[in-house]
């Protein structure tokens, strides 16, 4: 996967892949990197759960009265075979033809009127965060080869305000020549 990401970068930046700053057009060309980021956010959503207060009665077989606080759990929904076949596997290609037919099945930054700050900066909610991730990760991929530092390392996740790893994320960086 690391080499596939690097190949995409060298196609987008054929002459100056090491030091070039990405334009908006180039960021939009990073299809595979975009899929890798989305798949990472599916498995490790920064907002693992969030609460909402019902503005009106909601009936789905059971009455949920107006004013009730409900908690949503993207971490669990993102790992449901109902929405994502082979949910525990890292498969970036699942986002290749993602149409958003089930818009609330994939909500790494929450959803609805109290969505992430990005919706105030750009027309599509999480676009600002995605553009930042594309730009930063693109630069890292062009400068370094990435690999797991210790393949046996298993993250210990904790759902606090955001999802964190209590024992870190171990990666190996090797400078590209």
Cα(81)–Cα(67) distance, rounded to whole angstroms? 31
Taking each helix axis from N to C end, the angle separating 2-12 and 127-143, rounded to the nearest 10 degrees, works out to 100
Tell me: is residue 77 an annotated ligand-binding position: no
Under 8 Å between Cβ of 159 and 1: no
Q: What angle do CA 21, 37, 80 make, to 5 degrees?
A: 170
What span, in angstroms and rounded, lies between the C-alpha atoms of 174 and 85? 34
Please list, in sequence order, all residues whose beta carbon lies within 8 angstroms of the beta carbon of residue 140, skipping any fewer than 6 positions away. 146, 173
Residues placed in the known binding site: 116
Annotated binding site for heme: 116
């Amino acid at each position: 996967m690391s080499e596939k990401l690097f190949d995409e970068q060298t196609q987008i930046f054929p002459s100056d892949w090491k030091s070039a700053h990405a334009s908006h057009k180039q960021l939009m060309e990073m299809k595979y990197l975009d899929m890798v980021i989305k798949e990472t956010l599916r498995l490790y959503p920064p907002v693992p759960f969030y609460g909402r207060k019902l503005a009106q009665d909601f009936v789905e077989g059971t009455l949920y009265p107006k004013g009730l606080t409900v908690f949503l759990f993207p971490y669990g929904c993102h790992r449901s075979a109902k929405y994502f076949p082979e949910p525990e596997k890292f498969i970036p290609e699942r986002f290749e033809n993602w149409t958003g037919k089930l818009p609330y099945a994939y909500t790494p930054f929450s959803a609805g009127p109290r969505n992430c700050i990005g919706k105030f900066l750009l027309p599509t909610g999480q676009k600002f965060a995605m553009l930042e991730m594309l730009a930063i990760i693109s630069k890292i991929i062009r400068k370094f080869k990435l690999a797991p530092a210790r393949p046996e390392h298993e993250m210990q996740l904790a759902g606090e305000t955001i999802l964190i790893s209590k024992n870190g994320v171990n990666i190996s960086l090797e400078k590209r020549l």
